[in-house]
Amino acid sequence: MSTMLPVSILEEANRPRRLSDAFRCHARGRNFLLSVCLDDYMNANALRVRSMVCFECIQGGANREAFAADADTEGLLDNEIWARLISDMKDPEASPV
């Protein structure tokens, strides 16, 4: 069974916009999920880790801008973002209220 991720073409209209979208990273030469790209890009730049290939990555910056634009203006990602945040914060031992 193949574990390759589907890749979207990196034209402006086809940029990855959902956290679960996969794309071809030019700097790393591999397919990545947008969520991994955003995490690595933000960590490299926020922490100023110049040794990471994601530091000041043009593609990572474009992905971040496209993701932020959708979240801010269209609201298409609100449910996905909130669902992920809630699932990350859930305590498996907590009883339902």
Q: Rounded distance, CA 2 to CA 5, Å?
A: 9
Q: Is residue 81 part of a domain?
A: yes
> Domain span at residue 36?
12-89
The per-residue pLDDT of the chain, averaged, comes to 78
Kindly report the number of other CB atoms within 10 A of residue 25's CB atom: 21
Q: Is residue 43 part of a domain?
A: yes
Q: Is residue 95 part of a domain?
A: no
Reported as a single tens digit per residue, the pLDDT across 43-67 is 999 999 999 999 999 999 999 988 8
Q: Rounded distance, CA 4 to CA 21, Å?
A: 13
Residue 44 backbone phi and psi in degrees, to 5:
-60, -40
Of the candidates 20, 19, 24, 27, the one whose C-alpha atom is nearest the C-alpha of residue 7 is: 24
What is the reported pLDDT for 61? 93
- pTM across the whole model: 0.61
